[in-house]
Amino acid sequence: MIWRVVATELVEEVLQRRLIAAAVVLAVVHLLLAPAAGAASLGYQARGVLAVGLWLSTLAGLGGAVFIGLQAVSGALDDGTAELALVRPISRGDWVAGRALGVAVACVLWASLVLAAWLPVGIGYGWLQPGLVAVWGALCLQLCLVGAWALFLGSLARPAIAAMAVGALVFAGVFADEVLLYASEAGAAARVTSQLLYAVLPDLDLLDLHAALVHESAVDIAGLGWSALYTACTAGILVSLTSRVLERRDLRTAA
CA distances from 54 to 82, 83, 98, 104, 231 (A): 36, 39, 30, 21, 21
User: What's the pLDDT score for residue 124?
Assistant: 73
Residue 131 in contact with residue 219, Cβ under 8 Å? yes
DSSP-derived secondary structure letter, 199: H
For 2, the enclosing helix (H) or strand (E) is helix 2-15
Residue 83 forms part of a structural domain: yes
Three-state secondary-structure class, residue 220:
coil
Residue 254 forms part of a structural domain: no
Q: What is the DSSP annotation of 137-190?
A: HHHHHHHHHHHHHHHHHHTTS-HHHHHHHHHHHHHHHHTHHHHHHHHHHS-HHH
Range of the structural domain that residue 97 is part of: 2-247
User: What's the pLDDT score for residue 254?
Assistant: 41
Residue 255 forms part of a structural domain: no
Residue 97 forms part of a structural domain: yes
Please name the residue ranges forming H helices in 91-130. Answer: 92-124
Three-state secondary-structure class, residue 235:
helix
DSSP-derived secondary structure letter, 114: H
Report d(CA 159, CA 244) in Å as an integer.
Answer: 19
Residue 226 forms part of a structural domain: yes
Residue 252 forms part of a structural domain: no
How many domains, in total, are found in the chain? 1
Residue 253 forms part of a structural domain: no
User: What's the pLDDT score for residue 126?
Assistant: 67
The whole-number mean pLDDT for each consecutive block of 10 residues of the chain, a chain of 255 residues, reads 80 80 84 69 63 82 91 83 72 88 93 87 71 83 92 88 88 70 64 66 66 63 79 92 84 49
User: What's the pLDDT score for residue 108?
Assistant: 94
Residue 238 forms part of a structural domain: yes
